[in-house]
């Protein structure tokens, strides 16, 4: 990957840019519109939203006003937990489609593996996919056993698994499982929600003449993990994309891997109550 618009090819042939903009906790209206526009102007072609984030309308508006052809932008949304189940997922998808103002979504994910529901939710995603409303379908916050469960029940293998992943939670066994099964791993909270105070990252930032955020984003890319850092600041949105002009050595990749402590900033997918 040499360029901000370079893509991974998903298991159904759809191309997904390696780097995108996350918009969790970004206000609908002016804030999300200006963030998405700043990203698109910088050259990003990938935006990650969700029904939960309550900013799909602004995301859609920014895309329309950007003047960039719709097909050039990869848009992800997700079905929230309270909407899971077969019929309610179909309705939730339609509502997201309307709020975004988009006929077809590039990627639609099950946001969390809600026990007793996610297999029915998956069936609804498969129907929407087979009818052409979504170019690729996937999951989020799925552990290996959740993925196995879906793969045992369905003829469609999730194209993507979006999980918390960063230097303190490297997700190596899950990454290997996903590679073996042609599921693209995608990192949420790649920047540890801004908790970047890690001496090794500081050292590597100095060594490569890059910021700590850029070191992590580059580490994601070299691990072949799609990454969606969030910022609402145009200068940081630009900074987070300037990661295609340097390469971390194998040794430094391994040193970052060794930071793993199994630290989660978000919930544990095997033990959440929302
Ligand atoms: P993140 O790890 O991307 O951190 C974002 C924060 O890092 C910013 O608010 C800012 O404080 C800081 N930051 C950003 N750029 C910086 C820079 N260049 N230098 C210094 N600090 C910088 O956190 P996130 O928003 O939780 O995760 C990214 C995206 O992942 C979300 O916006 C959302 O799209 C997605 N997400 C998905 C799930 C899920 O359950 N599927 C959960 C959380 C987030």
Q: Is 236 in the pocket of ligand 1 (CB under 6 A)?
A: yes
Cβ contacts of residue 235 below 8 Å, gap of 6+?
none
CA of 127 to the centre of ligand 1 (A): 31
Q: Is 240 in the pocket of ligand 1 (CB under 6 A)?
A: yes
Residues in the chain: 274
Q: How much is the pLDDT for 193?
A: 98
Q: On the CB side of 102, how many CA atoms lie within 13 Å of its CA?
A: 29
Q: Is 265 in the pocket of ligand 1 (CB under 6 A)?
A: no
- CA–CA separation, 98 and 121 (whole Å): 19
Q: How much is the pLDDT for 19?
A: 98
User: Domains plus CATH for the chain?
Assistant: 7-257 (3.20.20.100)
Ligand 1: residue whose CA is nearest its atom 13: 194
Would the CA dihedral through 58, 71, 97, 105 be positive or negative?
A: negative
CA of 268 to the centre of ligand 1 (A): 17
Atom of ligand 1 nearest to the CA of 187: 30
Q: Is 239 in the pocket of ligand 1 (CB under 6 A)?
A: yes
Active site residues: 53
> pTM here?
0.99
Atom of ligand 1 nearest to the CA of 140: 41
Atom of ligand 1 nearest to the CA of 24: 32
Let me know the angle formed at the C-alpha of 259 by 258 and 265, rounded to the nearest 5 degrees: 140
Indicate left, alpha or beta for 136 from its phi (over 0: left) and psi (-120 to 50: alpha).
Answer: beta
Q: Is 101 in the pocket of ligand 1 (CB under 6 A)?
A: no
- CA–CA separation, 101 and 105 (whole Å): 10
CA of 193 to the centre of ligand 1 (A): 5
Average pLDDT taken over every residue of the chain: 98
Choose one of 58, 191, 210 to mutate for the ligand 1 pocket test, by most ligand atoms within 8 angstroms of C-beta: 191
Ligand 1: residue whose CA is nearest its atom 34: 22
Q: How much is the pLDDT for 1?
A: 81
Q: Is 192 in the pocket of ligand 1 (CB under 6 A)?
A: yes
Point out the residues of the chain with pLDDT beneath 70: none
Q: How far is CA 104 from CA 144, 191, 197, in A?
A: 29, 30, 40
Q: Is 269 in the pocket of ligand 1 (CB under 6 A)?
A: no
DSSP conformational letter for 71 = G
């Amino acid at each position: 990957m040499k360029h901000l618009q370079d893509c991974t090819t998903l298991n159904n042939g759809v191309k997904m840019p390696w780097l995108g903009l996350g918009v969790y906790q970004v206000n609908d209206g002016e804030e999300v519109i200006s963030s998405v526009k700043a990203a698109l102007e910088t050259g990003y072609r990938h935006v990650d939203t969700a029904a939960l984030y309550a900013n799909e309308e602004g995301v859609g508006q920014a895309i329309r006003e950007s003047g960039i052809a719709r097909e050039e932008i990869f848009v992800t949304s997700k079905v929230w937990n309270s909407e899971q189940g077969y019929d309610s997922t179909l309705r939730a998808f339609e509502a997201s489609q309307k709020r975004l103002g988009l006929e077809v979504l590039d990627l639609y994910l099950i946001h969390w593996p809600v026990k007793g529901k996610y297999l029915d939710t998956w069936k609804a995603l498969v129907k929407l996919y087979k009818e052409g409303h979504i170019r690729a379908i996937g999951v989020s916050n799925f552990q290996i056993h959740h993925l196995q469960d879906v793969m045992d029940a369905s003829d469609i293998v999730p194209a993507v698994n979006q999980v918390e992943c960063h230097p303190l939670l490297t997700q190596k066994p899950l990454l290997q499982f996903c590679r073996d099964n042609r599921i693209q791993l995608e990192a949420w909270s790649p920047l540890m929600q801004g908790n970047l105070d890690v001496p090794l990252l500081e050292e590597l930032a100095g060594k490569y003449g890059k910021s700590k955020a850029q070191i992590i984003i580059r580490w994601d890319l070299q691990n072949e993990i799609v990454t969606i850092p969030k910022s609402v600041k145009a200068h940081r949105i630009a900074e987070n994309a300037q990661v295609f002009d340097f390469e971390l050595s194998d040794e430094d990749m391994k040193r970052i891997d060794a930071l793993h402590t199994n630290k989660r900033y978000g919930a544990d997918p095997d033990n959440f109550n929302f």
